[in-house]
Structure 1
Amino acid sequence: MIRKKLVALTALFGAAAMTLSACGASNTGGGSGDSSSAAGPSANIDQKWANCDPASGAKDTSSMDADSKKDITIGAFNGWDESFATAHLLKYVLDKDGYNVKVEGFDAGPGYTGLAGGDIDLITDSWLPLTHADYIKRYGDKLESMGCWYDNAKLTIAVNKDSKAKSIADLESMSSDFGNTLYGIEAGAGETKVVQDTMIPKYGLKKMQLKVSSTPAMLSQLKKATAANQDVAVTLWRPHWAYEAFPVRDLADPKGAMGGAEKIYSFGRPGFGKDNPKAAQLVKNLAFSDEQLSSLENIMFSDSKYGGKNNDKAVAEWAGQNSDWIQKWEQGKLTGNQK
């Protein structure tokens, strides 16, 4: 989200709108999203939120007693895959320890309102320093920060791994390799606007046609092309399960046209840490690498797996395959780059 300061902010604002829209639609992984869920970019950006190392406040919880208060409600943002992935993962671990955890879907506005009012105990999907800046400006003094757990939330242009293209700049000279087409998502998605208004002009992509359609259509084309060993270019974003499901990689963006990376934070309601010290510490211990998060989301949301239809069962399957990771999480030994 990146002419010196004014242009940098302009790019940031465009990327923010796109990021908010492209984080997921009905657990399919992207799309137009819910524009009403964004407070909107403003002068409220506080760069202190850009400085966070995942799990920086980690401690060993394995010897801690379970909290006396065991009823916990976690709010997940409708259509944002990583929201439901982290919420149900927390539910899985806490339920095993005797808690009664509910995951409820909200649009961002009602979610933050409910959290500040104490009706929701946790939210695990706050994008900072930009996308959710206004919400944190409005409610932050009432919320308890549980730290960040992911540090690479961003918009991308992705291609098949064996493509000769290395940078977005290569798309113009190599356009014929990709059928002169960049497969996009919904017309109303923020990422679509960023690609049309910023990325394409900055890189002078005159030969490449942006095909605006839908997230499912983009993913279908990605699946079809990679299965046929054909070059393909798509608009994508991190985190997304497509990085696990398909052999794809990001193109370098030397002009910063797609914006920079944000951090994803967790926040608790007022008093949550005092009422639920063990659960709060477990949240603080959470840290995901791209590979781990893509793997979890792939099992939960891809059509070849659970397709977003049984999140608890999907998480249980993933946890069974990643028991060492679960143990390190409980012991406070994870980092953002943990493999």
Structure 2
Amino acid sequence: MKDGDALSQDAIDLIENLDDDGMGARTEHFSGAELAGLVRSAASFALARAIESDGNGVVTCADLERALEEVRPALGTQDDVLRVRYPFGISEFSSSVKRIKRDLNRFTAPVLSSSPQLHSLLLVGGGAGAGSTALAAWAAAEASMSGRADYVRFITALDILTAEGGGGDEARATALVERFSEAREMSHSLIVLDDIDQICAGGSKDGYSTIMVSTLRALLRTPPPDATIAKAGGHSKAMSGRKKTMHVIATTSRPDAACVILNELFEETIVVPLLTEANSVQSLITESIDTAVDVDAMSNMIIDQLKEVGCKTVLRLVERAIFTAGIQRDVTSSEALEVILQDFAGDEAMALRVCTV
């Protein structure tokens, strides 16, 4: 392609760039087929431009950049996927969050061992919207960006349900095994199992699938193979000389998961508490919301009305209040929040009555 003058000089420069922003580093985890797809994608952009402007069809750096956005490797990390899970960042609005972040950083830290290691952790939300998913995604992204993990996967119940073979227990178990098998071949992998209670859901009395729980138990007790070279993806420069490691972080918003079946599957359990103090809510809003609002009034209002609340719920309620005030010019965001909280409390009470019946 290069010899046939099919590439512009800036495209050649990108390909020959050996730095982190060069083509080599950015396609580190591409398979041969994926690289071929990348080339075809860039060529299609160049061809489309040539047809529109009667050009020469030469592939430019811009074509390669567009192709990199379109073609993603099956292996490697998922930094973009992870960041979507914590769009506001992770605010250190309370001592509990600071502690949990320290715990997660320690959990994903490099393991110095003479044999391959697999470590697991269950992150339990103290209630809906506590932020366990966001914290797990943040921990995985930090491990990826710092070079502690060279393979990261964020797996949801939908990923398992839609795998080949359908949604039966055996098919779901097979899909989970396949995800772990791929990770086990990498040098230093990290898997996030989001909503593990849904991934392992079943028709038994406790709400879990015996097959899924048994499969997960076996997977969490099987370290990666003792091999010095991974099949794909390469080794992280920051971790040369280390044995293979695999870290698994599972999340759930079911507080009872810390006490029943799922808890005993994992080596560690961390509980993400709900917010119960106005100053914590105030810090969260201040650090996460750019729009000017009466933070003190909103924080006190939320705690007075809800008593305890998840950080995700706080941000959702405040965003709705800001939006409402933006379209109803005669009300402030605090006034809008007051009405929203009243409706929210009524909805929660009705849901509780329905569930009780």
TM-score of the two chains, using structure 2 as the length reference:
0.25
- Whichever structure has more strand as a proportion of its residues is 1
Higher relative contact order (CA 8 A, sep 6+): 1
Give the structure with the larger helix fraction.
Answer: 2
